[in-house]
């Protein structure tokens, strides 16, 4: 799946069945459903899962919690806009 195809899937009422939980979390976030995005992300115990978890807490405004998760993901807290980070994460996962 390409980034463009993934973005197109956000128009659907439910996430595509073929996507993994990492992308499912980002899909819910793009739909404006932070709670479902967070519920999926918190059950993914990998560096990429921690990256998404960090992004979600940054978006929530909980920078202390976000910093903890960025550290677990071996990432620096970004200074980029949230929309840009969402694309960076999504692109990395799709590669």
Residue 23 — very low, low, confident or very high, per pLDDT cuts 50/70/90?
A: very high
* pLDDT one-digit tens code per residue, 33-82: 999 999 999 999 999 999 999 999 999 999 999 999 999 999 999 999 99
pLDDT at 80: 96
Q: How far, in Å, are 29, 43, 79 from residue 36 at the CA level? A: 8, 11, 25
DSSP type of residue 16: -
**pTM (predicted TM-score):** 0.94
pLDDT at 46: 97
């Amino acid at each position: 799946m390409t980034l463009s195809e993934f973005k197109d899937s956000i128009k659907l009422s439910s996430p595509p069945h073929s996507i993994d939980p990492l992308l499912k979390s980002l899909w819910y976030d793009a739909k404006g459903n932070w709670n479902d995005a967070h519920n999926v992300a918190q059950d993914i115990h990998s560096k990429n899962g921690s990256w998404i978890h960090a992004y979600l807490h940054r978006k929530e405004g909980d920078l202390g919690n976000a910093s903890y998760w960025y550290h677990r993901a071996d990432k620096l807290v970004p200074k980029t806009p949230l929309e840009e980070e969402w694309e960076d994460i999504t692109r990395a996962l799709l590669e």
